[in-house]
Structure 1
């Protein structure tokens, strides 16, 4: 549950939260002329949260970005921060000269392939919309979110969704409601998403020259069908991530982490998005607890957490101590 954050004395403030994402399927196309890749992905929001407070401050006070929580030192606090970009976007749209302070409490692994920065942007959009009284609906917020990053619209929406384009075009999978329990193994260090994509391009080109093309995940029809049911083993057998070979190439130690999860009895283990966080999918909470304990004992990960999904998307919380919404 997000922790409380202080706001300037006498300031009006709005606090919002947004969830982490995992990719149950991440198919990556070839590099496009615009520098992006076409993606085919199945997103799922899980119960790890970013908390963002946007506060009105006095005109002579500076705009500030303050970050706390695990990995806070790795997060930029200038206007390149995605939450700051989100605030600046809506402030400019409103024609407002208001001074706005941003306070972020991290709950999602930093540079871990779980969209922590995108969740910050999503929460900041929702909070700023409420604070400035813009009254934007969910669709309008998602459109603005797409300008900030490929994963930001999904962090607004939450639940489970099919993503295409750069991942920003979403189709909700409303039938995919069965609870899924996941062990999150957080690596010591991070991976840059652009660097991982570049490594994938390099590996594909290298393999193509030798006639041994890198395997690619196929369609998502079988996974989407499985998500409508209640069989976690069937779902686990259909999970895929085209970025995993690139993440393993850049950080070979992750192979030990994946092996530890397999030996602990997880239904399936894989790198989360661009990594280096690893995910282990389990049959139920009891198995997840057991897998988490065994993986933790091996020392292959800096931190091991339990989570589950699907959960809802970004939303305002009236009390920063309250539990975020659990349903999509």
Structure 2
């Protein structure tokens, strides 16, 4: 993302590399700028260029990350009027998944709607290889939550799962719990089939859906199994990935540990 102030503008300008992404008031980037001005009583408008790499509807927090980056950048450009704690608190007003990006370490245990953020030590090593696999269809978060069967939720304690992952220094399959897999797989059975094939490939320590979908995370390796080269999967988004954190008062930077998507 690129940012610059527009002292003489009467509105913000957002340019996006993905023409399917709206650039009006419905975009979280514009919502973040409006929020920042309202909270700080500033009148500055901005020009933003967004090179969209995280697919829309992937469950990877791409839009939320864009919003958090926008709040951080606007604050930086205007002299750091707000504290990190301010930005964390305000961000919950426009989205439940934005606040986590303002954790002081970049790793957090989140409760409530996601806006209650507790800093934690990263439970796995940041250079752990992972592969992201997303089918060409997305899943609407509201629909997924409406389809959640509360009676089929995991009984595992989330804090206990975090402790288990930290102790194992990685995510084993039994600890890869996401209650939203049930409604996602009910709505998109082929996603469940894709997960199972990835597990059966035997190449990963664990395989699980991220967020409300529809991305499947393969933990422990970024090798691409041969079956993903079949015509059935020709439209998949496939990319290696690594985890990143941030230093206090800084922002997230590319790890440099992954290669360009296939």
TM-score relative to the length of structure 1: 0.69
Cα distance change on mapping 1:113 and 1:58 into 2, 3 Å: same
Q: Report the Cα distance in structure 2 between the residues aligned to 1:189 and 1:175, rounded to whole angstroms.
A: 31
Matched, 1:137 2:88: no
Q: Report what 1:93 is aligned to.
A: 39
Paired residues for 1:15-54 under 5 Å: 52-54=1-3
Match of 1:64 among 13, 26, 37: 13
Q: Report what 1:115 is aligned to.
A: 61
Q: Report the Cα distance in structure 2 between the residues aligned to 1:55 and 1:186, rounded to whole angstroms.
A: 33
In the alignment, structure 2 segments of 5+ residues that lack a partner are 257-262
Q: Report the Cα distance in structure 2 between the residues aligned to 1:310 and 1:110, rounded to whole angstroms.
A: 20
CA RMSD of aligned residues (A): 2.5
Q: Identify the range of structure 1 (56-65 vs 165-174) with the bigger mean alpha-carbon deviation.
A: 56-65
Paired residues for 1:1-328 under 5 Å: 52-57=1-6, 59-60=8-9, 62-68=11-17, 72-157=18-103, 159-174=106-121, 176-179=123-126, 180-200=128-148, 203-204=149-150, 213-232=151-170, 235-265=172-202, 266-282=204-220, 288-290=221-223, 292-294=224-226, 296-298=228-230, 299-300=232-233, 302-312=236-246, 315=250, 323-324=253-254
Q: Report the Cα distance in structure 2 between the residues aligned to 1:289 and 1:255, rounded to whole angstroms.
A: 20
1:276 CA displacement: 0.9
Paired residues of 1:236 and 1:281 also in contact (CA < 8 A): no
Cα distance change on mapping 1:134 and 1:67 into 2, 3 Å: same
Q: Report the Cα distance in structure 1 between the residues aligned to 2:34 and 2:208, rounded to whole angstroms.
A: 36
Cα distance change on mapping 1:251 and 1:144 into 2, 3 Å: same
Q: Identify the range of structure 1 (136-145 vs 114-123) with the bigger mean alpha-carbon deviation.
A: 136-145
TM-score relative to the length of structure 2: 0.84
1:74 CA displacement: 3.2
Deviations 1:70-118 (A, max 9, x none): xx23322101211111111112333333232222111222111111110
- SS in structure 1 at match of 2:92: helix
Cα distance change on mapping 1:215 and 1:142 into 2, 3 Å: closer
Aligned residues: 250
Cα distance change on mapping 1:156 and 1:109 into 2, 3 Å: farther
Q: Report the Cα distance in structure 2 between the residues aligned to 1:221 and 1:63, rounded to whole angstroms.
A: 41
Cα distance change on mapping 1:222 and 1:99 into 2, 3 Å: closer
Paired residues of 2:244 and 2:254 also in contact (CA < 8 A): no
Cα distance change on mapping 1:304 and 1:137 into 2, 3 Å: same
- SS in structure 2 at match of 1:148: coil
- SS in structure 1 at match of 2:64: helix
Q: Report the Cα distance in structure 1 between the residues aligned to 2:251 and 2:121, rounded to whole angstroms.
A: 22
Cα distance change on mapping 1:171 and 1:96 into 2, 3 Å: closer
Paired residues of 1:84 and 1:102 also in contact (CA < 8 A): no
Q: Report the Cα distance in structure 1 between the residues aligned to 2:227 and 2:45, rounded to whole angstroms.
A: 46
1:66 CA displacement: 1.0
Paired residues of 1:153 and 1:168 also in contact (CA < 8 A): yes
